[in-house]
Amino acid sequence: DSPLILENITIQANPGEFIALVGPSGSGKSTIIRLLLGFETSENGTIYYDGQDLSGLDISAVRRQLGVVLQNGRINSASIFDNIASGALVTMDEAWEAAKMAGFADDIEAMPMGMHTVISEGGSNLSGGQRQRLLIARALVLKPRLLIFDEATSALDNRTQSIVSQSIDELRVTRIVIAHRLSTIRNADRIYVLEAGRVVQQGTFEELLNQEGLFANLMARQMV
């Protein structure tokens, strides 16, 4: 038998909470996200949304209520507007509002064709930060009930990170965030620290910073 990727994990996000998952590479963070999205199923244990077992729900209907930004989020060869809308019925005003929330509107306005600017496959004619902001705008445009971010803001500068954080705070949406840059989760309601597929610490940023353990070690490394 191969070893378990996750073992004895219990993570809870109440409505409106900001939950962060941190830990070294290979600790199981992205697997949790894949389970939440129904991309993977667990051998045992259950994923609940609003108290209902995910395995008994229409996964497409669940995903429509989520705003998701993954590390390898897909950007199509299409206009910026079409990439933000991503097939949903979205107005131009809604696309601009989402772009503003993602700190991307100024960039779009500076482009010759604005929202109609065509992006190459994979977004190769955008910077890393612009690609992330486009994916964040797509995640926000339908005002989801739950946001799931997997390293979604790693390429953003502090100013843009602040704009995105403030926009999401104003939406009062539930957030589950995987973060490498620990300064971005300072305001999380609860942080789960993972190591080798287990939760080894949990608490607020300040609580964990003042405990001996993996979180304080990770933080110390980033401050060097």
Q: Residue 172 has what pLDDT?
A: 86
Q: Vertex 142, ends 140 and 148: CA angle to 5°?
A: 45
Question: What's the pLDDT tens digit per position in 3-19?
Answer: 778 889 999 999 999 99
Q: How far is CA 123 from CA 73, 204, 211, in A?
A: 10, 36, 42
Q: Which amino acid belongs to residue 55?
A: S
In the chain, the domains with their CATH numbers are: 1-65+145-224 (3.40.50.300), 76-143 (no CATH)
With 0-12 / 13-18 / 19 or more C-beta atoms within 10 angstroms meaning exposed / middle / buried, residue 41 is exposed
SS3 53: strand
Q: Residue 44 has what pLDDT?
A: 87
Question: What's the pLDDT tens digit per position in 78-109?
Answer: 999 999 999 999 999 999 999 999 999 999 99
**Quick one: tokens of 194?**
């993972």
Tell whether the model's pLDDT for residue 70 goes beyond 80: yes
Of the pLDDT bands very low, low, confident and very high (cuts 50, 70, 90), residue 72 is confident
Question: What's the pLDDT tens digit per position in 40-66?
Answer: 988 888 999 999 999 999 999 999 999
Q: Residue 224 has what pLDDT?
A: 64
Tell whether the model's pLDDT for residue 1 goes beyond 80: no
Question: What's the pLDDT tens digit per position in 142-193?
Answer: 999 999 999 888 888 888 989 998 999 888 899 999 998 898 999 999 999 9
Give the mean pLDDT of 113-129. Answer: 93
Q: How far is CA 128 from CA 92, 157, 219, in A?
A: 24, 11, 24
Question: From the CA atom positions of the chain, what is the Rg in Å?
Answer: 18
